[in-house]
Chains A and B, each alone.
Chain A
Amino acid sequence: MISLSTSAFYDRSTQQLTSLRDKAASLQQQISTGERLERSSDDPVAAARLRMLSRSEALAKVDTRSSQVAETNLTMSDDTLSSITDVINRARELAVQGSSETLNDDQRKAIGAEIQSLHDNLVTLANSRDPQGNALFGGEGGGMAYTLNGGTVTFTGTTNVTPIEIGDGQTVTPALTGPEVFNFNGPNGATDLFSVLSNLAAALNAGGSTATAGSKDALGQLDSGLDKVTTAQTMIGTRLNWVDVMSNRRIANADRVAQEKSDVGGADIGVTISKLQETMTVLEASQSSFARLANLSLFSILR
């Protein structure tokens, strides 16, 4: 048993009370912030892990936004492709009518006029814009996907689409380019929907046997074109599915990260409160025993 000198007794008591008070304050802070670490050095390994976890959380948020962008673009592409299918189906009906030899040339011209307007609709659809204002089928180009010049439709976009990252190093290509939708190999070789429709309109306008032959020819081409568009729709559907799968994965991942963050850096409230209670009990006991011991001087007894 060390018999302390008086000044050492006071010094030591002050030190002990201060350190208990510090400990209580630190526990109180842990409870109110819900976090176990005040600074990295409290637990360097956990702190480093926490930083990397917050980083992956921050980057996952970007992935979520990107995958929303991809989803919107893909859904828009899908809708546009449905409209294109409608146009093709209507053109096909008209071509069937046009191939009939019972029509007179005026009726054929009327059909030809409708085909022409379908052609114009198709150009408008091909120049659809995504929510960011870029050409949906224009690839990486900044302007229009197709330009109409003297009745000729030319693809002016690029044939590349930059894939978007949607987490875990996975990507999705958020759109199709014009040629992937409109260009195809028909019975008479490579062509595109625009020339099929404008040729059909021209043939119907010409009337006579040109019109019927042209309509029959167009029927075959339109079938191939429809095939191409439905294939494109299937591709879009697959990509939407992929985005969905990745979204679910990201949600599961976010749960895991949040769980790990709270495991690594969270203060267990129950344990912390009971530690605080323990510290407070010790602190109160130390304070009252200090008060008693400090009074316990022979001088206060000697009169």
Chain B
Amino acid sequence: MASDLLTIAASGTNVARSALNVTAQNIANASTEGYVRRDLRTAEVAAAGGMGRVNDISLSGSTVAEVHRNADSFLQSEVRRTGSDLARANAELSGLKNIESSLEQTGAFDSIVNLEASLQQLSSDPTNSSQRSAVLASASTLANTLNITSSALDATAQGLQSDAGAHVDEANGIGSDLARLNLKLANAGPNNSDRPSLLDQRDQLLEKLSGYSAIGTTFASDGTVAVTLGTNPPRSFVQGGTSATLGMAVAANGTLSFAVDGQATDPGSGNLAGAASALTEVDATRTRLDQLASNLATTFNTAQAAGVDASGAPGKPMFTGTTAGTIKLALQSGQDFATAPAGAPAGSRDTSNLDALRQSLSSLDPAGTYNNLLFDVSSKVSGRQVTQSALDTIASSAQAALQQQSGVNLDNEATNLIRYQQAFQASGRAMQVASDIFNTLLGIGR
């Protein structure tokens, strides 16, 4: 079946117009998040000649075979995996930095040193009332800074917990969106014009979801996806048109645990995992801080009980409370501080009790303990920073590889515009030729 020149040229203009449309679509979506560059795949239309006319020329122009979506599932899964690791590192690092700031910026270390210094100063002149007051003032400052440090840790923990809660909600939202998309994808035929944009949405949701937790994906040929969430073991999260519910529980010590439809799992990566490990670190830090506060209170109270104050009366407890959050100075006046040993008269300058206190303080070494605590946290921050920047590089090169393959480059699109415009003009020219030939034929015999 032979086709005429006009039809061939018309199909060419159609194809070129479609290609121009695709190019314009690419340009319009150059900065749309999650948009995957489309290509027009064309196919030649050529029928074989009829019976006995095998060698006839039977060209019928070209047609649009497919609007191709330049997605590479391997690169996309790499972006998800590396992005998930990076999200974990980012969340953990920011939590750790907050812990570091809580410990460092409240000046608890300086308060400890000031208390040590004021005790040392007092030992050279134990009956000096201004130096006794200085000891009490620095003890009160220390108790206050420990309170502030503790509430800063609380705030860090609450921030991490509420972020994680919001992320769990978002992950559940993504789960149900994915389930709906699965239904739409199953209904949309392979050549439905909605399909590429549905697939874009699907991939974008998967990438978002991987920011919260480690995920596993299995794609069916119709584009639907089955998603598992977490590791050790992974739990089925989205299957066909149904999605499970991710739940989060906050333990008494502030640490997090996760379950999908009641079945425990570990996020493995993503910012939920980062928040969980930062909260574990908050808990460990708080335990050490509380221990320090409790030891300080015990040391001072024991020493007070063993001595007499400036009026010769037995010393009263110096601190109340046994945690960093509750420790509080109980003494009212510097005269209540017991520097002299039991049995010493009022106004005694005997400092044996103060010396014993300083002895037990130096073996408790609160400054060294706090310094170590701060060192441990800050070296974790510094180590995680190295990891984070490595993961950042890995994630951005995975992203770049994907972008290179699926992103829109305006220069390429400009080239395509010209190319398809020329193709359109050329096909138009072919129609002109067809018309000329027709006119020539009509003119025969005039």
* A interface residue numbers (CB < 8 A to B): 2-8, 10, 12, 39-45, 47-48, 51-52, 54-55, 58-59, 61-63, 65-66, 69-70, 132, 134, 139-143, 158, 160, 162, 164-165, 174, 297-299, 302
B385–A298 contact, CB under 8 A? Answer: no
B274 CB-CB contact with A under 8 Å: no
A59–B116 contact, CB under 8 A? Answer: yes
B128 CB-CB contact with A under 8 Å: yes
B257: chain A residues at CB < 8 Å are: none
Taken together as a complex, chains A and B put the C-alpha atoms of A45 and B375 apart, in Å, by: 7
A59–B113 contact, CB under 8 A? Answer: yes
How far does the Cβ of A238 sit from chain B's closest Cβ, in whole Å? 20
B371–A48 contact, CB under 8 A? Answer: yes
How far does the Cβ of A260 sit from chain B's closest Cβ, in whole Å? 16
Of B53-61, B96-104, B154-162, B167-175, the one touching chain A: B96-104
Q: Which residue of A lies closest to B345 (CB)?
A: A142
B430 CB-CB contact with A under 8 Å: no
Taken together as a complex, chains A and B put the C-alpha atoms of A2 and B100 apart, in Å, by: 39
A39–B101 contact, CB under 8 A? Answer: yes
B123 CB-CB contact with A under 8 Å: yes
Q: Which residue of B lies closest to A40 (CB)?
A: B378
A298–B116 contact, CB under 8 A? Answer: no
How far does the Cβ of B290 sit from chain A's closest Cβ, in whole Å? 21
B101: chain A residues at CB < 8 Å are: 39
Interface residues of B in 395-431 (CB under 8 A from A): 396, 399-401, 403-404, 406-412, 414-415, 417-418
Residue from B121, B347, B378 within 8 A of A65 (CB atoms) = B121
Taken together as a complex, chains A and B put the C-alpha atoms of A286 and B414 apart, in Å, by: 26
Most buried by A among B399, B406, B410, B417: B410
B390 CB-CB contact with A under 8 Å: no
A70: chain B residues at CB < 8 Å are: 124
Q: Which residue of A lies closest to B119 (CB)?
A: A62
Q: Which residue of A lies closest to B417 (CB)?
A: A302
How far does the Cβ of A245 sit from chain B's closest Cβ, in whole Å? 18
How far does the Cβ of B351 sit from chain A's closest Cβ, in whole Å? 5
B367 CB-CB contact with A under 8 Å: yes
A55: chain B residues at CB < 8 Å are: 109, 113, 116, 367
B100–A39 contact, CB under 8 A? Answer: yes
Given A61-B117, A162-B126, the answer on whether A5 and B371 have CB atoms closer than 8 Å is: no
Q: Which residue of A lies closest to B414 (CB)?
A: A298
B414: chain A residues at CB < 8 Å are: 297-299, 302
Given A5-B408, A41-B97, A48-B374, the answer on whether A65 and B350 have CB atoms closer than 8 Å is: no
B13 CB-CB contact with A under 8 Å: no
Taken together as a complex, chains A and B put the C-alpha atoms of A14 and B377 apart, in Å, by: 31
Q: What 6 A-B pairs have minimum CB-CB distances, sorted nearest first?
A: A5-B407, A142-B347, A40-B378, A298-B414, A41-B381, A44-B379
A44: chain B residues at CB < 8 Å are: 375, 378-379, 381-382
Taken together as a complex, chains A and B put the C-alpha atoms of A2 and B411 apart, in Å, by: 14
Taken together as a complex, chains A and B put the C-alpha atoms of A249 and B56 apart, in Å, by: 111
Most buried by B among A2, A55, A70, A141: A55
Taken together as a complex, chains A and B put the C-alpha atoms of A58 and B367 apart, in Å, by: 12
B100–A6 contact, CB under 8 A? Answer: no
How far does the Cβ of A58 sit from chain B's closest Cβ, in whole Å? 5
B330 CB-CB contact with A under 8 Å: no
B113–A54 contact, CB under 8 A? Answer: yes
9 additional A-B pairs beyond A6-B407, A6-B409, A51-B367, beta carbons within 8 Å, are A2-B401, A3-B409, A4-B407, A5-B408, A7-B408, A58-B114, A58-B117, A59-B116, A299-B414
Produce 1/0 per residue, B346-373, CB < 8 A to A: 1111110001000000000001100110
Most buried by A among B125, B345, B371: B125
A165: chain B residues at CB < 8 Å are: 120, 123-124
Taken together as a complex, chains A and B put the C-alpha atoms of A134 and B128 apart, in Å, by: 10
Q: Which residue of B lies closest to A296 (CB)?
A: B411
B100–A142 contact, CB under 8 A? Answer: no
Taken together as a complex, chains A and B put the C-alpha atoms of A61 and B120 apart, in Å, by: 10
Taken together as a complex, chains A and B put the C-alpha atoms of A298 and B407 apart, in Å, by: 17
Q: Which residue of B lies closest to A41 (CB)?
A: B381
B259: chain A residues at CB < 8 Å are: none
| 18 A-B pairs whose Cβ atoms sit less than 8 Å apart in the complex | A2-B400, A5-B403, A12-B396, A40-B375, A41-B379, A42-B382, A45-B375, A52-B371, A54-B113, A59-B116, A65-B124, A66-B121, A66-B124, A69-B124, A162-B350, A162-B355, A165-B123, A165-B124
